[in-house]
Each structure stands twice: as C-alpha cells, then as structure tokens.
Structure 1
Amino acid sequence: MTPPETGGSPHPARLPVEVRRSARRKRTVSADIRDGVLRVSIPGHFSPSQERQWVERMVERMSAKYLEPPAHDDDAAVAALQRRARALARQYLGGRGVPSTIGWVTNQNTRWASATPAHRSVRLSHRLQGMPEWVVDYVILHEMAHLIEPSHNAVFWDLLTAYPHTETAKAFLDGAAFAAQRNLAGAPGEI
C-alpha cells in the first residue's frame, strides 16, 4: 500500500491519493473515494510507471465525475442551441419536434444525448462539444425526432432521411464510442 500523496495540484479540489496493490488483482484497476481519500486499487505486479499512469488516469476520471462542478449553460448558449434546434426542425422536420428546453449536461457519460417527450426537453452530453457541427446537428435532430416519435421504429427513422449526414454521423459516433471503450482518444456514448 502506498501512502496518500500530499503534493500540490492545479485542481483545487484534489483529494489525497492512496494506492493499494493486490496480489489477487490480475488486470483491473478501480478507484473510489472514502473518508476524503481517493483510493486507487491496482494489480500487485504493476511497475512504478504503470502505477503512475493508472493513478493519473483514475484521478482524472474521478475528479471529472465527482469533484468538478457541473458546467451551467449561460443564457446565450441556451438561446443559440434553441435557435439551432428551430432552424434544424424547419429545414429537416417540417418545423416539428422543436424542444421547449435544450442544453448541455455533464452527467451523460454513456449516451450522446437524451430527450423527454413528455417535457419536450433535449439534453446534449458535453462530450459532443468539439465534434464536427454536422455530427452535433445529427444528434440534435435525432433527439428532436424522439419528440415526434419516441421509439426507434420505421416512422422515427423516416423522419431523419432528409438529413444528408445521418449515416456518416452515426458511423462517426460509433467510432468515437468504440475508441472510448478501449481507452483510445474519443468520447463514450450512444444515442
């Protein structure tokens, strides 16, 4: 067991880190926060460089998940997304499917976005930020189509046929999800 780190960090909310080595643990690495300490459990056979690499990775993951405050959309960002959604609805959905609310969220780590037809709301994962506009437009259209047709049936997919980048955007997102699942560059998620 390695004692908790106490060195400085650019992240103001960083917790002390305790590394636990286990002879029984063969491949997996896990982390949890207990009593104000971030505990990282690693296989006993890891080299010092593997330990550093995995501790760094787990500190980053846990900080993003638990310690960093969620980003809040400002009024200008919300208004821009609402305008974008209305324009996409006019161009590709005959003006239908415009959400009452649309915004970026930081708590969607396994989906690219979600929609709630009953509230006419759309939530976009912050992991989409920085992706090509045509991919984000597809995700917005996909979620707006759910406001019209909740299930992934033929009617739903017919709504998206007018958007020329549907198949390419789906492939792009599948590639990003594939990369993320293997700890390669990319962002996790599914629609």
Structure 2
Amino acid sequence: MPADPPHRAADPQRRTVASPQSRASATSAVEVRRSSRRRRTVSAYREGDRTVVLIPARMSEAEERRWVTVMLDKLAAQESKRMLGDDELAERAERLSAQYLGGRARPASVRWVTNQNTRWGSCTPAEGSIRLSHRLQGMPEYVIDYVLVHELAHLLVPGHGPSFWELLTAYPRTERARGYLEGVVAADRLPHLPAARSE
C-alpha cells in the first residue's frame, strides 16, 4: 500500500474523525479527505500528529469507517515491521499471561517458525512450547497478541470447548483479531484480478 501524496488540485472534502480505539493507531486524529478524482483506490499516510486517509468522494459513511480501520491497521503493520526476536516474544507471552490469564499459563518456550503455513500458531502443552507462524510478522500487534493469548490458553485447556473460549473472553480484541485473520485467509483465496477492472 503505497502512501500517496495528497491530491490538492481536486479540492477534496476534508473532515477529522475520531480514531478507532486501537493500539494499531499511533495518532490521536484521523483526517478523511474525499476526492472526486479518486475512483477506486484508498490510501493513507502520516502527516504530523494525524493520519490522513484518502478515499473516493462517492463512498458511503459505512465504507469510510471500514476503510479507516483497514488503513490504520495497514499503517501500523508497516510501522511495526521490525521482527520481534524469540526472547521478546517470550517476554510478551509472559506479560499477556499475567494480564489476561492470571499468570497461570507459563510457557517453557515461545518462538517463531517457518513451517506453519496452515496455522497461525500451535502449542505442545506437555512441553509447554508455543510456536507462532512467521506469516504473522508485520501484522498489527493486537493480532499477534491474540494468537499468543490463544496458544497460552491452550496450555491450560487443550481443546476448543466452552471453557477454552471462556478464557479467550478476557482478551478484549479477540473478535476483532479473529476477523482480521479471517480476512487475510479470505483475501488469499480471491482470484487476482487486474486493479483497473470495471465495476
């Protein structure tokens, strides 16, 4: 997602909207600029202490809200490209266990792996080991945290029964993170069509 420069000549409609509550946004304000010159593309970039989101003028308010969230997540992912090392990942898991699981989940090891292409994470409760797919690297922090909490919960409850999902309710971004990951999977299954196709 290239960060397009603002299109001043089109005299876009501008308005500042409240930033969705998310750690993905490092700024306090989001300015949406609508442009009649834009037909299909949406882009975003940081401008000082705010995030500017450029959208086509014909977009509905519901589409605008959805795209603001999507673009904030994309920017946050780009900005957090620095890969966490295994030691940092283990420290993060320890923090998340203390915060959401009362410190009861105590993994012996937490590490990235490159051989998990159909799962986001896995664990072996008997060994206390947690493995996260390298495909998560660069995704928003709340998504990585969700996968960590998910695997930490498996150290306490092996299956996906009601008691497991009850543990996951402690993490406030569970549904949002699951939706994000489902979107990634769905996007991978879409046919790759030319960007300029007609609607």
TM, length-normalised to structure 2: 0.53
Aligned equivalents of 1:183 and 1:78: distance in 2?
Answer: 35
Q: Which secondary structure does the structure 1 equivalent of 2:103 belong to?
A: coil
Distance 1:154 1:83, change over 3 A: same
1:128 corresponds in structure 2 to: 136
Structure 1 letter corresponding to 2:100: Y
Aligned equivalents of 1:180 and 1:105: distance in 2?
Answer: 20
2:97 corresponds in structure 1 to: 89
Distance 1:183 1:95, change over 3 A: farther
Offset, 1:180:
1.3
Q: Which secondary structure does the structure 1 equivalent of 2:85 belong to?
A: helix
Q: Which secondary structure does the structure 1 equivalent of 2:110 belong to?
A: strand
Q: For 1:154-180, what per-residue CA distance to the aligned partner results, in whole angstroms no more than 9, with x for missing partners?
A: 110011111110000000000101111
Offset, 1:183:
5.6
In the alignment, structure 1 residue 158 sits paired with structure 2 residue 166: yes
Aligned equivalents of 1:110 and 1:140: distance in 2?
Answer: 16
In the alignment, structure 1 residue 169 sits paired with structure 2 residue 177: yes
TM, length-normalised to structure 1: 0.55
2:154 corresponds in structure 1 to: 146
Distance 1:183 1:105, change over 3 A: farther
Offset, 1:98:
2.3
Distance 1:135 1:92, change over 3 A: same
Q: Which secondary structure does the structure 2 equivalent of 1:107 belong to?
A: coil
Aligned equivalents of 2:133 and 2:190: distance in 1?
Answer: 20
Offset, 1:99:
1.1
Offset, 1:104:
0.5
Q: Which has the larger radius of gyration?
A: 1
Q: For 1:90-129, what per-residue CA distance to the aligned partner results, in whole angstroms no more than 9, with x for missing partners?
A: 0000001121111000110111111111111111000000
Q: Which secondary structure does the structure 2 equivalent of 1:177 belong to?
A: helix
Aligned equivalents of 2:120 and 2:86: distance in 1?
Answer: 18
Is there any run of 5+ residues in structure 1 with no aligned partner, and where? 1-73, 185-191
Distance 1:179 1:87, change over 3 A: same
Structure 1 letter corresponding to 2:146: Y
Distance 1:118 1:130, change over 3 A: same
Q: Percent identity?
A: 55
Q: Which secondary structure does the structure 2 equivalent of 1:131 belong to?
A: coil
Q: Which secondary structure does the structure 2 equivalent of 1:124 belong to?
A: strand
Equivalent in 107, 112, 115 of residue 115 of structure 2: 107
Aligned residues: 110
Offset, 1:181:
2.3
Aligned equivalents of 1:144 and 1:101: distance in 2?
Answer: 11
